[in-house]
A and B are shown apart, each in its own frame.
Chain A
């Protein structure tokens, strides 16, 4: 069965430091992968996606993610974190036939001043 694992429940980084949020997926075919961010009291905002092609994808707010098929991973990165990046981050895989998204458990990012 398809699944998504985000191994880190909570991460704290200092403002200006680099960030990497991990995501591992289990999916038989070529996955469609997404990262979403949810700020407190807000809905989900799409950060970036991977369908095919270049395995390094750029998103909004300075985020990027790298798809590694050999590791079944799609880690999210940002070179310099801002205080406004504090939020909940979700990785998701799309089931090709149904369109539904399967979400990881989420990673809470805290940013220290």
Chain B
């Protein structure tokens, strides 16, 4: 299975600032996803990031607030812009591993963001 790392693992930020989260995978993958997990809640997909194309955002999420880069098949970044306390969440990246012929999706350890 793919091994995924995220940086930073946690951060405390002031409102109005921006934070960029990095996601690194140990193998080349086509599909990468960014999820948000608000406190005590389930996961909600923010966007799908495929290399060589613009990210596809889910309803309720916009590029100006959550710009995403996908420069190659092993790396992606998510920026949380102009943060407010409502952005306090865990942000997780995931990849779909197709090496086995299945559709397993593996997750990074997450970035715990607190906005004050």
Contacts and interface: CB of A to CB of B under 8 A. Distances in A.
Given A43-B108, A43-B110, A99 B42 contact: no
Interface in B88-105: 92, 94, 96, 102-105
A32 B101 CA distance: 13
A44 B92 contact: yes
B13 interface: no
Given A99-B96, A100-B48, A46 B109 contact: no
A103 interface: yes
Contact of A101 (B41, B45, B108, B110): B45
Contacts of A34: 104-105
**What bracket does the count of chain A residues touching chain B fall in?**
20 to 34
A75 interface: no
B43 A90 contact: yes
The secondary structure that dominates the A interface is strand
Contacts of B33: 99-101
A101 B109 contact: no
A69 to B, nearest CB: 19
A36 B92 CA distance: 14
A99 B31 contact: yes
